[in-house]
């Protein structure tokens, strides 16, 4: 049903623990998924062999060894055995609710995204314990925090959506995920928000692994590269694309159009970048929206 592909960091220290937690959760999804780990780092290749998943080593990289996503997505598209693909960050734990949600999207082509739940998890999960899922659910209920709609850690898309063709963005750096959503909107691919029906767990971590790290989040020369590429493709805009760009909501009962004001507001701002005639209405709505929001905060 689903081909999952990811670009792990080297399997060292905390990253090794968290990535093993994530990948082993993917291995326990039903129906069984095809899993591809992308990258030529020896520890990534060894982990793929040990865990019994596929590897993809011929990925084009920059001078720091960071993979280009156009190379990752195009090759994953070629290697995929299923009609639906899922790019997911390598520290994300998926539960069976994720597969249930994807199976309920009855569309010929789509992009499915959603918000993540942040959780401090630094120890290996005991997957031999039949109650490991319940334990994680309890931890998330007590200490997990739903992150904002601007954090997007997975992209589920159909092979026929043509979303696998990317510019040379660098993995794990800002703006590529925002462009991915913009591109789906531009291609008129339906975007589905799965947040309310599946728990997606992000294991909290730092950013010291980034080359020439700027000391704040993922800042550095590679972030500058992605931001420059984004500006060339979309324009010099401060608008950030998010889960609220979704055109549909997957609920417990059915798939519904995303007509709530937060979604309508976000989609109008995005549409204004594609259609100049909408720029004035978008600015006016934004002005009113911010004025009302500011007044409510006082």
Q: What is the mean pLDDT of the chain?
A: 92
| Residue 58 within a domain | yes
Instruction: Look at residue 213 and tell me whether its pLDDT is greater than 60.
Output: no
Residue 74 near residue 162 (C-beta atoms within 8 A):
no
The whole-number pLDDT of residue 209 equals: 44
Instruction: Show contacts of 130-139: CB within 8 Å, 24+ apart.
Output: 133/95, 133/96, 136/93, 136/95, 136/201, 137/95, 137/199
pLDDT digits (tens, 9 = 90+) for 181-196: 999 999 999 999 999 9
Residue 220: pLDDT band with limits 50, 70, 90: confident
| Residue 293 within a domain | no
| Residue 160 within a domain | yes
In the 3-class helix/strand/coil scheme, how is the chain assigned residue by residue? CEEEEECCCCCCHHHHHHHHHHHHHHHCCCCCCEEEEECCCHHHHHHHHHHCCEEECCCCECCCCCEEHHHHHHHHHHHCCCCEEEEECCCEEECHHHHHHHHCCCCCCCEEECCCEEECCCCCCCCCCCCHHHHHHHHHHHHCEECCCCCCCEEEEEHHHCCCCCCCCECCCCCHHHHHHHHHHHCCCCEEECHHHCCEEEECCCCCCCCCCCCCCCCCHHHHHHHHHHHHHHCCCCCCCCHHHCCEEECCCCEEECCCHHHHHHHHHHHHHHCHHHHHHHHHHHHHHHHHHHHHHC
Residue 140: pLDDT band with limits 50, 70, 90: very high
Name the residue with tokens 């055995």.
Answer: 81
| Residue 136 within a domain | yes
Query: Percentage of the chain with pLDDT > 70?
Result: 93
Instruction: Look at residue 78 and tell me whether its pLDDT is greater than 90.
Output: yes
The whole-number pLDDT of residue 211 equals: 47
| Residue 265 within a domain | no
State the Cα–Cα distance between residues 197 and 84, nearest whole angstrom: 19
Domain of residue 139: give its range: 2-234
pLDDT digits (tens, 9 = 90+) for 33-68: 999 999 999 999 999 999 999 999 999 999 999 999
The whole-number pLDDT of residue 286 equals: 87
| Residue 173 within a domain | yes
| Residue 164 within a domain | yes
| Residue 275 within a domain | no
Instruction: Look at residue 210 and tell me whether its pLDDT is greater than 50.
Output: no
CATH number of 179's domain: 3.90.550.10
Number of domains in the chain: 1
pLDDT digits (tens, 9 = 90+) for 252-264: 999 999 999 999 9
Q: What is the value of pTM for the model shown?
A: 0.92
């Amino acid at each position: 049903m689903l081909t999952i592909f990811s670009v792990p960091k080297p399997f060292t220290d905390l990253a090794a623990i968290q990535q093993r937690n994530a990948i082993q959760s993917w291995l326990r999804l039903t129906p069984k998924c095809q899993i591809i780990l992308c990258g030529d780092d020896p520890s990534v290749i060894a982990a793929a062999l040990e865990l019994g998943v596929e590897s993809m080593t011929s990925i084009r990289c920059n001078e720091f060894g960071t993979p280009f996503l156009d190379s990752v997505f195009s090759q994953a598209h070629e290697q995929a055995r299923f009609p639906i693909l899922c790019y997911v960050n390598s520290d994300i734990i998926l539960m069976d609710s994720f597969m249930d949600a994807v199976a309920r999207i009855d569309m010929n082509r789509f992009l499915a995204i959603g918000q993540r739940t942040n959780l401090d998890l630094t120890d290996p999960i005991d997957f031999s314990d039949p109650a490991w899922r319940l334990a994680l659910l309890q931890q998330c209920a007590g200490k997990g925090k739903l992150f904002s709609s601007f954090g997007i850690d997975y992209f589920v898309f159909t092979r026929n959506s043509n979303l696998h063709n990317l510019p040379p963005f660098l993995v794990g750096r800002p703006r590529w995920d925002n462009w991915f959503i913009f591109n789906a909107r531009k291609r008129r691919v339906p975007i589905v928000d799965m947040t309310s029906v599946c728990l997606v767990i992000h294991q909290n971590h730092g950013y010291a692994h980034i080359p020439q790290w700027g000391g704040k989040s993922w800042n550095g020369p590679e972030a500058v590269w992605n931001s420059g590429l984004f500006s060339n493709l979309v324009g010099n805009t401060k608008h950030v694309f998010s889960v609220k760009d979704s055109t549909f909501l997957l609920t417990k009962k059915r798939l519904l159009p995303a007509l709530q004001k937060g979604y309508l507001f976000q989609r109008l701002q995005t549409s204004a970048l594609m259609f100049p005639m909408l720029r004035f209405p978008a600015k006016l709505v934004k002005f009113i929206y911010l004025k009302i929001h500011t007044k409510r905060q006082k």
